[in-house]
Structure 1
Amino acid sequence: MSAIHPTAIVDPAAQFAGDVSIGPYAVIGPHVAIGARTTVGAHCVIEGHTTIGEDNRIFQFASLGAAPQDKKYAGEPTRLVIGHRNTIREFCTFNTGTAQDRGETVIGDDNWIMAYVHIAHDCVVGSQTILANNATLAGHVHVGDWAIIGGLTGVHQFSRIGAHAMAGFASHVSQDVPPFMMVDGNPLAVRGLNTEGLRRRGFSPQRVAGLKQAYRLLYRQGLTLEAAVTAMQEAGQAHPEAVQDIALLRDFVAASRRGIAR
């Protein structure tokens, strides 16, 4: 049975799996679905067409599923989709999508999202990410798996942050951040490969060595982006343990539309 505090306002049309907990004075709208064992803290507001998976912890005063902060939004039934086992701390704001893009904002699994984080319309956040306090994602931002975004960091609309990348405290991210890189500052600058993060996630020395070679091609040898992409193809062949990692980096750079942080 779900545990719903008597002061919570829950629309009868909302859908709950077993063992959901709804705290005092929370407000749950009619188009909300919440998976098993998820806890919703006091004074949270969950509205819009919002689907939340299992085993999430949503702390007090979060606002999830509100209309996007986009002047073109005209009330379309866009969505917010949140996966499993996420921690969502106090005062977070996640908006639904817009009809001009994918129509949904998506957050994956096992993310650690700290207080006051804003995730705007049509963002796609992968799994196992960390978004520190006051990190702010503008509309249409994509964040890859295992990425870390430091506190007070702002990410410009349509920017992408690649898998295993790390943006430091109070950074201004207005271009794409390639996978595996560490960046910070305003203006943003690449500080190196996220070596320590990769080691903590179990990357072998051989994989790290291959990525170091790809990093040097991209940032240290004065090559154009086109030449670096071509050279990384050869680096992948020379480092078979890292071939998939280098391919991920190479494809990300080749697909960039905003340009990459350099």
Structure 2
Amino acid sequence: MIHESSIIEDGAKIADNVIIGPFCNIGKDVELKSGCRLESNVILKGKLRVDENVRIFSFTAIGNENSEIEIGEKTHIREFVQLGAQEGKDGTPTKVVIGANNFLMGYVQVLSGVTTGEFCILTNAVRLNENVTCEDRVIVGGLSTIEAGNTIGTGVMIGGASCVDHDIPPFTLVEGNKATVKGLNVVGLRRRLKDKNDIEKIKSIFKQILGDVVDKELASDIAIKHENEYARKFASFISTSNIK
């Protein structure tokens, strides 16, 4: 069902059971797959693929004339979000990929080149600057900013009103301006890892390599030699990160 006040440019691909509310504007290179729903006053531009059962709320703007964006299935994008609506600083478009089952709350801004995994939550007024990568199940508290080019590891929780200016290791708790690691997200670890021994191994190396000084040399050694695969992955992230 498409409201009569909405504008759909020739070339747009709209599945039969998509719902488009009033005063929306859909560009010629947009593809909306089965089950998608757009509320009122949504603007979609550029080369954009929206997978099944995505819901986009009112006054959201996604894409620009030169952008390339993919949005994974069952993602919810709330009011006044701007996703890839601005061109990169050098004018060169970089692809934006939003994974499946993400939740972008009101007034979120996502700039060029951003990639998110699955099941991420960006709460109100979060800003992801250019070329930020969020791995799976990242939660970013409201009014937080992640500076350009940084990677946020799996299972990270970032407190509200934080400014992140470096990579963040997986399953850590982070807050502050400038943001610093406060500890491990033990609840997240317990939800993802069933073996308590795996969790204890990560706890042990966390204390060794992320103390008062980041020990990248030790992290690199653990990433190669440790017997536990999860400990190796954790250490490997730190050893190759931009954390100082």
TM-score (norm 2): 0.92
Q: Show the counterpart of 2:82.
A: 93
Q: Show the counterpart of 1:49.
A: 47
Residues 93-122 of structure 1: CA deviation (Å, up to 9, x unaligned): 111675887831111101111111111001
Would you say 1:141 and 2:144 are equivalent positions? no
Q: Show the counterpart of 2:205.
A: 214
Q: Show the counterpart of 1:107.
A: 98
Q: 2:169 aligns with which of 178, 182, 186?
A: 178
The runs of 5 or more residues in structure 1 that have no matched partner are 68-76
Task: Give the 3-state SS of the residue equivalent to 2:62 in structure 1.
Answer: strand
Q: Show the counterpart of 2:114.
A: 123
Residues 101, 108 of structure 1: alpha-carbon distance in 2 compared, 3 angstrom cutoff? farther
Whether the 8 Å contact between 2:108 and 2:123 is mirrored in structure 1 is yes
Q: Show the counterpart of 1:260.
A: 243
Whether the 8 Å contact between 2:103 and 2:121 is mirrored in structure 1 is yes
Would you say 1:21 and 2:19 are equivalent positions? yes
Q: 1:169 aligns with which of 148, 153, 160?
A: 160
Question: For the residues of structure 2 that align with 1:164 and 1:226, how far apart are their CA atoms?
Answer: 24
Question: For the residues of structure 2 that align with 1:47 and 1:85, how far apart are their CA atoms?
Answer: 20
The runs of 5 or more residues in structure 2 that have no matched partner are none
Whether the 8 Å contact between 1:20 and 1:36 is mirrored in structure 2 is yes
Task: Give the 3-state SS of the residue equivalent to 1:163 in structure 2.
Answer: coil
What is the CA-CA distance between 1:78 and the residue it aligns to? Answer: 3.7
Which amino acid letter does the alignment assign opposite residue 193 of structure 1? L
Residues 100, 255 of structure 1: alpha-carbon distance in 2 compared, 3 angstrom cutoff? farther
Q: Show the counterpart of 1:84.
A: 73
Which amino acid letter does the alignment assign opposite residue 108 of structure 2? V
Residues 133, 46 of structure 1: alpha-carbon distance in 2 compared, 3 angstrom cutoff? same
Task: Give the 3-state SS of the residue equivalent to 2:41 in structure 1.
Answer: coil
Residues 1-56 of structure 1: CA deviation (Å, up to 9, x unaligned): xx101111111311012311101111101110011001011000011111111111
Whether the 8 Å contact between 1:128 and 1:145 is mirrored in structure 2 is yes
Question: For the residues of structure 1 that align with 2:97 and 2:91, how far apart are their CA atoms?
Answer: 15
Q: Show the counterpart of 2:36.
A: 38
Question: For the residues of structure 2 that align with 1:215 and 1:84, how far apart are their CA atoms?
Answer: 34
Q: Show the counterpart of 2:236.
A: 251
Q: 1:150 aligns with which of 106, 128, 141?
A: 141
Q: Show the counterpart of 2:190.
A: 199
Aligned pair count reads 242
Whether the 8 Å contact between 1:217 and 1:232 is mirrored in structure 2 is no
Let me know the Cα RMSD of the aligned residues: 2.0
Deviates more, 1:82-91 or 1:195-204: 195-204
Question: For the residues of structure 2 that align with 1:103 and 1:260, how far apart are their CA atoms?
Answer: 25
Q: Show the counterpart of 1:64.
A: 62
Task: Give the 3-state SS of the residue equivalent to 1:81 in structure 2.
Answer: strand
Task: Give the 3-state SS of the residue equivalent to 1:4 in structure 2.
Answer: coil
Whether the 8 Å contact between 2:222 and 2:235 is mirrored in structure 1 is no
What is the CA-CA distance between 1:198 and the residue it aligns to? Answer: 2.2
Question: For the residues of structure 2 that align with 1:104 and 1:232, how far apart are their CA atoms?
Answer: 31
What is the CA-CA distance between 1:199 and the residue it aligns to? Answer: 2.2
Task: Give the 3-state SS of the residue equivalent to 1:176 in structure 2.
Answer: coil
